[in-house]
Structure 1
Amino acid sequence: MNNLHTKTALITGGSKGIGYGVAECLLKEGMNVAITSRTQEAADKAAAQLSGIGSGKVIGIAADVR
């Protein structure tokens, strides 16, 4: 991949499944990620699990994008 250390990604549905996997891969590349979930609790839980991966930062945001 290209140098992604200065980039930030917004991943909808990032608290589980494919979105979670994408967040994990991007964090390993050094990106910062913001993940969304329908509830703040789920977003915070996933962000906490992802926080130790790579050098990027992660935040969880409650957002129902249906």
Structure 2
Amino acid sequence: MKTRNHTGHPCGAGHHRAKLSSAQVAEMRAVYAGWKQDGDGRGYGALAKLYDCGPSTARDIITLRTRWAS
């Protein structure tokens, strides 16, 4: 089942251009939270390399700008 937003358009993992699954998004947030809890200096760039996406995508996912429902 594809998730749709308030206008009826596909969003999240159901979007045809999505490169990350909902599970990967949840894992990405958990990894980043662990880094911050441990005081690790790694940031969005390291996370982006780990998940093969852009640093701005990683930032937007972590700050809940995108994929907030995942």
The two structures have a TM-score, normalised by structure 2, of 0.33
Greater share of residues in strand: 1
Larger radius of gyration: 2
Higher helix share: 2
What's the TM-score, normalizing by structure 1? Answer: 0.34
